[in-house]
Structures are given as structure tokens and as C-alpha cells.
Amino acid sequence: MKAWRRGAAALLAAAAVTGMVPVVASAAETGGRVVKAWFSNDIYLVPSTDVGWNDPYKQPRRLSYEEWAALGSPTPEVLEAHYAALPHSTTVYGYVFEPNPYDAQLTWDDVLQVEALSFAQWDSVGRPQPVVDLTFCEAAYCHLHKWASGDQVFLQEQRNSSAGFRQISYGEWAQLGFQAVVNQGVGFYKMPFSDTIFTLEAKYLDPATPVPAGYFFGCNGQSYEWWRYYGFPPPQVLTRPTAADRYTRVATRSDIWYSGPAGAQKLTLAGWQSVGSPAPIVDGGTITSNCSQTSPPSS
């Protein structure tokens, strides 16, 4: 990100706190141009030269309706659009460069506006072939995530939340300049006796973690489509009880029941042993559940 963009963001934030109101001169007085992209209704005022990042009101910026009207409601110049996509993504982005970039060589840092296009928008301009480049993330504002259950890094297209997540390789992460990764407090897990994949806050992996009164864990697992959206993160197989699990048996029977994020089921001897043969809660007549779903039957 350009230094002036960082400075402008900070100063505009300060202006919002102090109640300062930006003063917009006419386009002629600023020596600038009023511009827009065909795929967006946003209008920008761009000065003719880069005048330093410490004055956000003299930098390329989006205009409010009132600011545009104060300029005399000029018809904006429609900038030449370009198209890009990220590897392994079906999303096509439209983007425009600043008319007067500070850098002599255009880079993603000189992109003024970018937007994920709908199929109808892309089709309306003849379905142009996008440039496929992972470093376009710099303009598309990709976020990188790491789940508590593994070391894999997942990329999220922030400009198009419907695109979901995708696991990237170490080489791709290096190509992104080892962009900072957000470590999530939630992981993807499964039990050795079940194929159900579920999420759980990592703090509840410790069975001694107190569970707030009235708090219930979802016990239906997650759908295939949900898992696909998050990029198929490999689930960690848990081999010991968690704070979300409950192992129960009726006093008059030897059957042991599990209820927890993986669902509710009667365990085989091998299934019970696969999690360390936890001592079950002995119930007087019914099987109790730690879930927000119906308790399993008692027989």
C-alpha cells in the first residue's frame, strides 16, 4: 500500500473523530480529474500530480454525493478497465489504475478501484480474458488464515466472500511476501469413531476448560458444502475427550453413549478405547446430552 494511502486513512480517521469536514475545491482549482470505473457508481477526484501523502484532501479519493455536487456535478471520465483473476478462482475482477500514478511503472499499488464482477457484468463487456496472477491479492485485499487444527494457510478473497477459502502452498505464500496470517481460535476436528467433521474453539480441547452455564455445543457436525467453502481443511483426529464431549451410561446397562460435536451415538468397545476409555457419567435412568439436539435414547 502506498504511503499516502496509509497517511490519508489515518488523517481521515482523525478528521472523523474531531469533526473536521473536508473542503472540496473545483476540479479546475485542484488541477484534477473526476473519474470512475464503468463497473461502479463510485466517483473519485484525482489531482494532476502527487502532492505528498500528508494531505489526504489533495489525494485521489472517493467523493460523497454532496462533494460531487459541490464540484458542479461534473460528468465523470470513465477510466480504461482491466481484468484480473486469482489462480484456481472463478472470480473475475475489474480494476482501473490511477490516471496519474506516482510511480513511473504501473503496479498493483497504483490500482484506484477494484471490484469482483458478476457474470452478467463480465458478459456485458464480451467476457475479456483476465490476467491470472496471485500477486493481484495486493489489489484484491486477500486475507490469509490458519485454523487452530493445522499449519496449513488458507486464502480468502475479501472482495468476494462467496468465493470461499483456498489452501495455498508455501511457495504461494512466499510469492505473497509472507503476508501476515490470522491465527483463528477455531479448528476443524473429527472423532476416531465418526466421519463427522465439526468445528470447535481450541480452548475446549482441554476437558478441564469450564463451560459457561447454559452453553450448548452444536452436535450435528457440518455439511460437505460448508467444508468445501472453507477449502477442505484437513480435520485433526481427537484421541481424548474434550470439554464439549459427554460419555454416559445408564446404571442398569453397560452401553456407553457419546454426545458432542460429532453427534450422538452408542459406542463400540473399540470406539470407546480410541479416545482413552473415559469414565462415563452414570445416569439413573436417562442418557443426558451436552448438545443442543435431542438426547440419544436410553436403550
Radius of gyration (Cα) for the chain, nearest Å? 27
What distances in angstroms separate CA 99 from CA 34, 81, 106, 130, 143, one per listed residue? 10, 12, 11, 21, 27
Residue extents of the structural domains in the chain: 3-135, 185-299
Mean pLDDT to the nearest integer, 204-219: 80
Compute the mean pLDDT over every residue in the chain, rounded to the nearest whole number. Answer: 81
CA dist 135 and 156 (Å) reads 13
DSSP class per residue in 168-193? E-HHHHHHTTS---EE-SEEEEE-TT
- Asked if residues 192 and 237 have their Cβ atoms less than 8 Å apart, the reply is yes
On the question of pLDDT at 214 being above 90, the answer is: no
Predicted confidence at residue 23, as pLDDT, reads 44
Give the pLDDT of residue 259.
Answer: 86
Q: What's the pLDDT tens digit per position in 59-118? A: 788 999 999 999 899 999 999 999 999 998 889 999 999 886 555 678 888 899 999 999
Q: Which helix (DSSP H) or strand (DSSP E) does residue 145 occupy? A: strand 142-146
Give the pLDDT mean for 245-267.
86
Contact 262, 219 (CB under 8 A): yes
DSSP 245: -
CA–CA gap between residue 206 and residue 187 (Å, rounded) = 13
Q: Taking the chain, what is the end-to-end CA distance rounded to the nearest angstrom?
A: 63
> Average pLDDT of 218-239?
89
Q: Which residue has the higher pLDDT, 147 or 141?
A: 147
Please write down the HEC assignment for all residues of 44-71. EEECCCCCCCCCHHHCCEECCHHHHHHC
